[in-house]
Each structure stands twice: as C-alpha cells, then as structure tokens.
Amino acid sequence: MEFGICNLTIVPLRAEGAHRSEMISQLLFGETFEIITKSKDWTKISTTADGYMGWIQNGQFLTVDSQLYQHYQSLSITRVGFEGGFLRHRDYAIQLLHGTHVRTSFAYFDAEDNIQEFVGQELRYSAVDFKEQVSLLAKRYWDAPYLWGGRSKFGIDCSGFSQLIYQSFGVSLPRDAYQQVELGGTVDFLSEIEVGDLAFFDNEEGRINHVGIMLDSEKIIHASARLRIDRMDLEGIFNQELNRYTHKLRIVKRYI
C-alpha cells in the first residue's frame, strides 16, 4: 500500500484525472492520503482526514510507503494560524496557509536533510477555546472570495469554510455539507442557537446544499459569492443587498 504527502502550498483535487475536470476540493501542504490507482499523469487518492476521493496531478506530492507514512503521522505538528507562514529549508521557503499542519522535522524537500524552520503564526486553539474564539476566527475570512472546492482565504466554499474553522479547534468534520449534517446534535429552537452552531439549508429537492456558521441566534457567516454575514430566521438567510431570501433553512446542528 502506498501513501502520499502534499508538498505544495495548495493543490486542486479533481473529480476526474484531467485539468478540465471539476475541482471538488483542495489539499493543503502536509496533508496525507492513500493512493488508490495511478495513471500516466494523474493519481486517484482518498484523503486521510475525511476519506474524500479524487484525482491529483502527478508531481504534486511525495510518495511514501506505509512505514514512512506511519512515522510521519507520529511526528509532532505545528498548526498554522490565520496569518500563515513559511517553512524554510536552506535558501528555499514555501508558503503555508491557515489550516496547514506541518511536521518541521520531516524531510519534505531533501531526503538527506530535514533541517527546516517554521516562520509565522502558530495556531494554539483547542475545543475549550471554541465558544470564545470561533466568531473572531470566522470573521477573519470576511470577504474571502467564493470558490467551489476551495479551502483557503484565497477562495473557499461553504462546507470548506465550516470544516476549516472547526479543524482549527481540533474538531474533524467531513468535507461536504450533506455529510456534515449527519453529525452533531439538533438545535430545536432558533432562540437556543449558540455561537459556532452550523445551520444547514436545502434546495427544492430537499438536498442539503449549503452550510454556514452562526455568530448568534440571528446572524450567520457563510460563503455565498464571498464570505459574508447575513440575517437568518426560520425561513432562511435573508440577503439585504438582494432584498430577498437566498437559502431555505433545514436544520441547525451543534458539535461542541
């Protein structure tokens, strides 16, 4: 069995092995995956963190055997904060984004030399900091552009946003909204909503197609064209700029 480690800042994960194929998610530097199958130019993978499957281009990752993979997972990590940072190796430095977990003692660039230094903001949150800090962290993404499959401040989608924010507090969520809604406990009344709860919305067919993070019982931050803050009530999200409801509320869930 072979595994891989992403060794670029951010890499597209595609539905099929082709550049024209839809980007369904992204890998951040240091993230790992199981290799399912390889072609000449592409590799099908299943991510370690959430079992998400897709294709990445060959040359955008390190291939490791199961022994080295287990060693990598055992190493202590540095969690990169919102301001990001760099991993320096000799005269080379690669940019690291918020959400990246980096092992500074692992030889990402040179198998014979693992002397590296992280320079930047380190994230030190845990689940106990969630209620106090989740709103502040989420708001730092305000006005980030929407990007289908995106997982960074340079472009992010609704479920990538909720996954990334929760991950910052040590809580793992699946990649897509329809998967995230299957977890957590239901919040029965809007008046009982707490900061950090996730609100889910569905389409005309009843399929969950959107998620956002509640800032209080009436305000939600979510990715729709950009990361924005809107009002929410029993009907759903009301976009004041458009003067209409844009998303129909299905359910609110709590994870912490």
Catalytic choice (6, 89, 98, 210): 210
Locate 183 and state its tokens.
């977890």
Count of CB atoms situated within 10 Å of the CB of 27 = 27
CA 181 to CA 178: how far, in whole Å? 6
Locate 163 and state its tokens.
């996954």
Active site residue 98: no
List, in sequence order, the alpha helices (H) in 88-157: 130-139
Helix (H, G, I), strand (E, B) or coil at 71: helix
Which helix (H) or strand (E) element contains residue 137?
Answer: helix 130-139
CA 100 to CA 90: how far, in whole Å? 21
Catalytic choice (6, 89, 158, 247): 158
Cα angle: 63, vertex 68, 74; to 5 degrees:
125
DSSP 151-195: EETTEE-HHHHHHHHHHTTT----SSHHHHTTSSEE---GGG--T
Q: Enumerate residues 6+ apart whose C-beta is below 8 A from 15.
A: 21, 22, 23, 24, 54, 55
Residues in the chain: 256
Which helix (H) or strand (E) element contains residue 234?
Answer: none
Q: Which residues are catalytic, by number?
A: 158, 210, 222
